[in-house]
Homo-oligomer: A and B are copies of this chain.
Amino acid sequence: MPDFQLSCPLPITAYPHVLMAHGGGGRLMRDLIQQMFATAFGGQHETDSAVIPTQGSRLAFTTDSFVVRPIFFPGGDIGSLAVHGTVNDLAMSGATPHSLSAAFILEEGLDLDTLWRVVQSMAAAARECGVRIITGDTKVVERGKADSLYVTTTGIGFFNHPLIIAPQSIQPGDAILLSGDIARHGMAIMSAREGLAFDSPITSDSAPVHREVLSMLQDRIELHCLRDLTRGGLASALIEISTSACLRFDLDESAIPIREDVRAACEILGLDPLYVANEGRFAAFLPADQTPLALQLLPDARIIGRVVEQREPLVVLRSPIGGSRILDLLSGEQLPRIC
């Protein structure tokens, strides 16, 4: 958890809200960068580019904008989510996350205290992930032209292994591993938005997963493909991979972990948990004989299915009572703006 006891380092009594001028390239913007971003993230943050030493022969590069509403939710906030999301995208290529950039689009009138909470949360998440936020940008738009703030994080990572982790590397016979319970992040957001009351609130699973991935790589598990389960959830991720690889996946529904409160919330809102996002879970494709070691390293993981010989893009879910269902991409998504 970030430490929220430090008060905002800007003299917020003078300007307690974001002004258009905070994005204007003048003194107020300089103060915001120096006193808020550089304080929280460390480093310079004033030059046009950050310079980092290269490692190895390949680097991974990924970007995501975050527009989640509400910006604070059980288990996280837009800041920690923006760090985890990009760290996890790097991890999904098998790279070791190294550095992030953070570009803010702020709504005029945003409380500087609120911004400071988000920035501190990003800094704490980055520390926890072992990455540094080394460059950034700030723009301000008029009241009503953004809600509170949007954040875009971009990440760089380096590779310590020669594997090509991608759909093309998947082989018939591969096991499909799921790293933990599904649908939690999406339902945490929706429960917060809809004001659903449970005995205890559903908390997002938002978390970095790179250490899980790197531990498997370190133990020489031959990962063929990885995908985090964000927008569109487990089903959409597997359908996309199946389409790219042109291979059929058979899934065992009873092996897919889902918490009871999450399942209940999905039922109340009429949502299919297979299509609801996580922010700290991933699917992995690996040789079947390496699953015992993988399950030892990832105690919450389950083998949920396998890649079959049939060369057609198809994801089939077998239910506990013996029926089967072909999974298809939804047209849009059940839940807007969950990341």
A26-B152 contact given A58-B53, A146-B146, CB 8 Å threshold: no
Complex interface: chain B residues within 8 A of A57 (CB): 53-54
Give the most central of A62, A158, A231: most B CB within 10 Å: A62
Most central of A56, A105, A158, A230 by chain B CB within 10 Å? A105
B141 touches A89 (CB 8 A): no
Query: Would you call A332 and B101 a contact (CB within 8 A)?
Result: no
For A121, list chain B residues within 8 Å (CB).
Answer: none
Q: Which residues of B contact A51 (CB under 8 A)?
A: 58-61, 93, 95, 159
* Nearest CB of B to A275, in Å: 8
Question: Interface digits, A76-95 against B, CB 8 Å rule (1 contact, 0 not)?
Answer: 00000000000011101101
Q: CB within 8 A of A26: which of B19, B25, B141, B330?
A: B330
Check A227 against B48 for contact (C-beta < 8 Å).
Answer: yes
Shortest A189–chain B CB gap in Å is 14
Question: Known contacts A64-B137, A134-B61, A147-B141; is A48 also within 8 Å of B89 by CB?
Answer: yes
Chain A interface residue count: which class? 35 or more
A51–B56 CA distance with the chains assembled, in angstroms? 12
Contact with B along A16-60 (1 / 0, CB 8 A): 000111111111111000000000000000111111111111111
Q: Identify which of B23, B101, B277 contacts A154 (C-beta below 8 A).
A: B101
A residues sitting closer than 8 Å to B (CB atoms) are 19-30, 46-67, 88-90, 92-93, 95, 99, 101-105, 134-137, 139-142, 144-147, 150, 152, 154-159, 166, 227-228, 230-233, 236, 240, 244, 277, 329-337, 339
9 contacts between A and B (CB under 8 A): A20-B336, A23-B333, A30-B240, A48-B92, A52-B59, A59-B59, A63-B136, A139-B339, A156-B156
